[in-house]
Structure 1
Amino acid sequence: MIPPHTHAEHASSLKPDKSWRIWWMLLRPHTLTAAFIPVTIGTVLALQEGSINYGLFIAMLIASILIQAATNMFNEYFDYKRGLDNEHSVGIGGAIVRNGVQPSTVLNLAFTFFGISILLGIYICISSSWWIAVVGLVCMAAGYFYTGGPVPIAYTPLGELVAGFFMGVVIILISFYIQTGTVTFTGFLVSLPVSILVGAILLANNIRDLEGDKQNGRRTLAILLGRKRAIQFLGFMFLTSYLLVFLFIGMGISSAIILVVLLSVPKAYQAVKAFIGKKLPIEMMPAMKATAQTNTLFGFLLAIGLFLSHLM
């Protein structure tokens, strides 16, 4: 239970170093690579078509990270408003219920991040196409309605699909388009394993929260599949991502050097294994962490592999 004093009083009484950590954790930094990696991969693919505009790359990178951070804050705010978060909740969230940050502050900061993203988007549109504005607004709407609105996307079986599509396919293709002025089937194919692994992060989260989500009336994919099948499906998602890499080599999209992504396989194996036999949310935190790390390692290694393949 939150102490009798107000959120503002609690937040203002924190020591500076602790306060800094609270605001940093509010961003949920472990999720921000899901915004950084797709922009990098899309830009590396564009590099294979010619030179790139580094100003556009930086603007797209910052805008994507801000939209992801804002989405995390909407999640924090709406989970609090719906009573899903409490001081005993497991996870990185809880700045409102555990640390006394005012709900309105979280919401306003999220909209501020959206505002900065729009300004960056204007620069990107001036340098490329105004159609990017339409796509960008749809992305922001998806970020808001993921946990906001009367029927949040995150509370349905479509959460993993929507998150993967926007954080994988859409961001990679936009990053490629603003550099080249076109979209290719190759870019779409390369975006698929990234999309799958972003979805895997959400599935891992929903496996951990399965019982609590069920009690709160959610209908996530993990609930529909059941814990055992959801863990099996997580393993299938990992396997599919790695098999797609071999497809890229066979199609001539990249040389065999792209197999460097296989260095992330142990982390994927660790993620699946860490879920097996676990029932308590706190016991599944290592599995969630390993899933997010798999996405990060795979993405970075994929970008490196594509870049090195371009140089060869």
Structure 2
Amino acid sequence: MKLKYWIDAARFHTLPLSFSGVTLSFLISQSRVNVNLTTYILCVLTALLLQILANFSNDYGDSITGVDNFKRIGPKRTVQCGFISLYEMKIAIYLFSVLSFLSGLLLLYQSILYTNVFIFLFYIIGIFVCIYSSIKYSIGSYPYGYIVGIGDLFVFIFFGILSVQGSYFLYTQTLHMDMFLLSLSMGLLNVAVLNINNMRDMDNDYENGKHTIAGWLGIKYAKLYHITSIFVSVILGGFFIFLNQKTIYQWIFFILVVIFLIFHVKRIIFLKKNKLFNLELKKLILIVFLYVLSIGISNLL
């Protein structure tokens, strides 16, 4: 059945990253004000649709450029393997672009339409930027995911600052500096996830014109970049807890997740075979979600 291949193309194991940021800001917001649950649900739906759009676009774009080939170590892409045609994937990209916009529009109608028209229009532009960026990571004459550092920067902004700080404003109609620090922390963790992906396929990427920070630095310094991203993220997360300290449970939950991150970093340091990065990628995605729960839920206690 083709449904299996569409599920593979959506890369379900990456989807927790899409709603981790909006879930973290929801839990923090709920500890401060009474947040409308519908707003949160629409935030999650919009984030999921955008993530699937990005994954479909990557499948399509990397197949055209040749980055997806028999040398690729990561999971096989559906278009490159012939399970889904280019035409079918293009239709899916159009469909999810429309669905992402409609979901985002419902979200804004629910949360800020009657509050401030200027902010509403600002967010509308933001939705178009998110859709455009989801597609252009791998598609087009100059996909930004193929330019050194740009992919990392966009992941940092969209999965960190916009995901956490942007949704926090929708929940509370306010902005706070401590949430900005937390958004930086989440952004860096997501950059680390991307870096594992780039370290895994760095040789094949370079041969096919995809220039990532991992390929530019080489495996030794790419691992250092990875460790630094996680270390700074933990410092920022710890500072957020320090600023919002209520109970000892906040530190206990946080430290438990940090221990998982330490073991992850240790495995990355000594990892020799590129195909083993696949397992660490999935583990880090799970750790990121546990990180969200540890900070978010402990704030509610």
TM-score by length of 1: 0.86
**2:133 paired residue among 142, 146, 152:** 142
Q: Which residue is 1:249 aligned to?
A: 241
Q: Which residue is 1:74 aligned to?
A: 57
Q: Which residue is 2:227 aligned to?
A: 235
1:287 aligns with 2:280: yes
Summarize deviations over 1:14-43 as a string: whole Å, max 9, x none.
Answer: xx4xx4332212111111111111111122
Summarize deviations over 1:172-198 as a string: whole Å, max 9, x none.
Answer: 122212222222222211211111111
Give the letter aligned to residue 99 of structure 2.
I
Q: Which residue is 2:167 aligned to?
A: 175
Q: Tell me the distance in 2 between the aligned counterparts of 1:132 and 1:51.
A: 22
Where do residues 18-33 of structure 1 align in structure 2 (5 Å cutoff)? 19-33=2-16
In structure 1, the gaps of 5 or more residues are 1-15
Alpha carbons 1:210, 1:223 under 8 Å: kept: yes
> Which protein, 1 or 2, shows the higher relative CO under an 8 Å CA cutoff with sep ≥ 6?
2
Alpha carbons 1:87, 1:98 under 8 Å: kept: no
Alpha carbons 2:57, 2:135 under 8 Å: kept: yes
Alpha carbons 2:65, 2:208 under 8 Å: kept: no
Q: Tell me the distance in 2 between the aligned counterparts of 1:306 and 1:117.
A: 30
Alpha carbons 1:26, 1:93 under 8 Å: kept: no
What is the percentage of aligned positions where both structures have the same residue? 24
RMSD: 2.0
**1:159 paired residue among 138, 151, 163:** 151
Give the letter aligned to residue 184 of structure 1.
H
TM-score by length of 2: 0.89
**2:207 paired residue among 205, 215, 240:** 215
1:267 aligns with 2:250: no
- Structure 1 residue 45 displacement after superposition: 2.5
Alpha carbons 1:52, 1:179 under 8 Å: kept: yes
When structure 1 is superposed on structure 2, of 297-306 and 248-257 the one drifting more is: 248-257
Q: Tell me the distance in 2 between the aligned counterparts of 1:253 and 1:107.
A: 48
In structure 2, the gaps of 5 or more residues are 114-119
Summarize deviations over 1:129-165 as a string: whole Å, max 9, x none.
Answer: 4222111111112211211222222112221121121
Q: Tell me the distance in 1 between the aligned counterparts of 2:174 and 2:226.
A: 33
Alpha carbons 2:71, 2:204 under 8 Å: kept: no
Q: Tell me the distance in 1 between the aligned counterparts of 2:203 and 2:86.
A: 26
Give the letter aligned to residue 91 of structure 2.
N
How many positions carry a matched residue from both structures? Answer: 291
**2:106 paired residue among 115, 119, 123:** 123
Where do residues 75-114 of structure 1 align in structure 2 (5 Å cutoff)? 75-87=58-70, 89-98=72-81, 100-114=83-97
